[in-house]
Structure formats: structure tokens, C-alpha cells
Amino acid sequence: MEQTPVFCTIVPPHVLDKVARNEDRALAEPARRTLERDAAERTRRRLTTVIGALPVPGAEPSDRPRRTISDAEHRTDLPGRAVRGEGDPALADATVNRAYDGLGATFELYLTAYGRHSIDDSGLPLDATVHYDRDYNNAFWNGEQMVFGDGDGEIFLDFTLPLDVIGHELTHGVTQYTANLDYFGQSGALNESMSDVFGSLIKQYALGQTADEADWLIGAGLLAPRVTGVALRSMKAPGTAYDDDVLGKDPQPGHMDAYVRTSRDNGGVHINSGIPNRAFHLLATALGGNAWERAGLVWYDVLTGGALPPRATFAEFAQATVAAAAGRFGEGEEHAAVVKAWSEVGIATALGGTDVPRQSPAPEGARPPAQG
């Protein structure tokens, strides 16, 4: 499958745009510079299509990751200076160590739970750069590697702090190598939701948490103390992650009745992802136990099965999960729980529910560039 050049960030552009318009320049300037840097990186991705590192001919994928952490030293040239390689001891720099450990935790979940060897399933090296730019309020996957900012300390803290942020961005790479979901409208929201789902599962696996024990928050620990909020997103209760005088109120809906139609944010990819996020949470908690097992297997089967169209709608994805649950577990508890989860967020499946509008593709030339 031909891969689309991607540039995927954890903080949505509409959030940074709101901060950039704040009257307090100490808050606005870092957000404005982050938006400008993101735009430059996005343009670079559009001009340079990179499929990714190719596997070594004849080599078998290893059950061990191949990690390299580099330090940008507050500049923007990538990858920067390599400071820690696979098997090297921990450094005094906690940011380097968190990035190294986060890449390892992501590799471990995909290998142990799903038998996947790295992002591309062929042992792709995992590269990350830390200390990118100054007061950079984001983290991103650029199609080749992870990049982490240190945050401005006022709104966002170090982007290596939440493990699920690392897992989220690396999962954009998994999607890039599998379903390659188009980054616009409902398929783009599914792309974002896949990263939230597996980012959360990576954190839960690392912490040994069951579905009932997990917080289901994306980016907990990332917001600075002055911010009124707990995370970037809540999979359990979309729309409740933050309500702040600078960031505004979390705009995510958790049901199709509140689906947001917008031309911003690539057709609301970070906003409407709350709907499939909540469906997964409902499924995982209904089944209980470890969410990366039964619920996660269903989602992974759909992501990697090869049948999901790049412009899949919520309804098409929902139906694919119903079929995947039946295929893996039969028409028992798991199958019924999948149908019920989608019904509770207002999305139809073959066994009933509420109908959902199909996605209209953006006019050619009008589709915004990918920016997860």
C-alpha cells in the first residue's frame, strides 16, 4: 500500500491557536512559534515522501527494539546528536531516559499482545529526538521518527512525561504502515482514535492496569499546574478533559448527536475522535480484565486486516469491528458487547442502532495537509 506523507502532533492546532491569541504574551508567543514550526514541518513532509526505513534483506525481525535517542539541543535540525542507543545505560537527562523507555514500552505492547515487530512489523528502528526547539509545545511523528518538545512550563510540561503521548504518536506510524487512514473527516478521526486507543493500552500494559483501573486519559501529567484540566482528552468522558480560561473547554463529543461539522482541524479529526474513543472504552470496560486483550485484539484486527478502506466512515469501522469480533471470538459476549458499545454512541451496525451520515470527501485541492 502506498503511504501518505504524515506529520502528526499530539496537541491539536485549534488548541494552540486559542493559546496563541491570548493577551498574555508569555503564553501566546510559545504557542504561536509552535504553530509556525508545525507548519514548516508539515510543509516539509508534503514535499518529501518517505516510506520509512527498509528492513535488512534476509534478516528476521528481532524481539528486541532498536532505539536511538538524539538531542536537538533546542534547535530544529533533525535528528540532532545521538546520545543513547539500544542497550546503553541511563543518562542523567531524565527526558532522554523517558523517551527511551517509552519507545521500549510501545515496542513491548505491540510485540507481546499482537506479535508485531515494531511499527512496520519488520523491525523498523525506533528513533526519537528530545529537547526540540525552545518552549516547543508539542510532540510529533513525522513519518520517520518521534520528536518531543520540552513545553513552555506555563501551559504544557515536558512531552515525554505521559507514556500514552509516546504510544499515541508511534501508533500513527502503525496506522501509516497498515490501514493508512485518510487524515480528514471521519477517517481522520478514526486515525486519531486508533492512536488514543493504543496509546492508552500501552500505558495500561506498562502499569499492569485492568480496564476498570485505568484512567482512560490521554496526556495526563502534561498540563502545567496553572491549567484547569487533567489531560488533553478523556476516552471515558469526552469533553471533560479540561475547562480552562486559556485553553477553553474540551470540545470532544461522545455521541453522534453532538458530532461536530467543521472545516478546521482537518474536518475535526481531534474533536470527533471522542466518539470512537468512547465506544472503545465502553467495550473494554464491559468485557473487563485487560483491555489490550479482547477489546484491543478486535481493534488491532481491523487496523491491520487490510479490508478497511482509507476513507472509512465511523459506520464502516464499526461494522468491521463487529465482523472482527465474530471472526475471532464467535457470536458470543465479545460480539454482543461490540454492537452495544457502538449503539451507545449512536452508530449503527448490522444488528441495529442509529444511522450515521456518510463522510463526504473533501474537494480536490481543498483537503488540508495531515497534521495529527
Task: Give the number of other Cβ atoms within 10 Å of residue 289's Cβ.
Answer: 13
The C-alpha cell 471472526 sits at 327
326 grid coordinates: 465474530
* Distance in angstroms (rounded) separating the CA atoms of residues 94 and 177: 31
The full length of the chain comes to: 372
369 grid coordinates: 495537509
The catalytic residue among 41, 154, 169, 334 is 169
Q: Distance between alpha carbon 129 and the CA centroid of its chain, in Å?
A: 18
The catalytic residue among 131, 270, 281, 335 is 270
For residue 169, indicate whether it is catalytic.
yes
Instruction: Identify the three-state secondary structure at position 53.
Output: coil
Nearest 5°: the CA angle 196, 14, 203 is 20
> H or E stretch including 293?
none
Task: Give me the phi and psi of 201, to 5 degrees please.
Answer: -65, -35
Give the residue numbers marked as catalytic: 169, 270
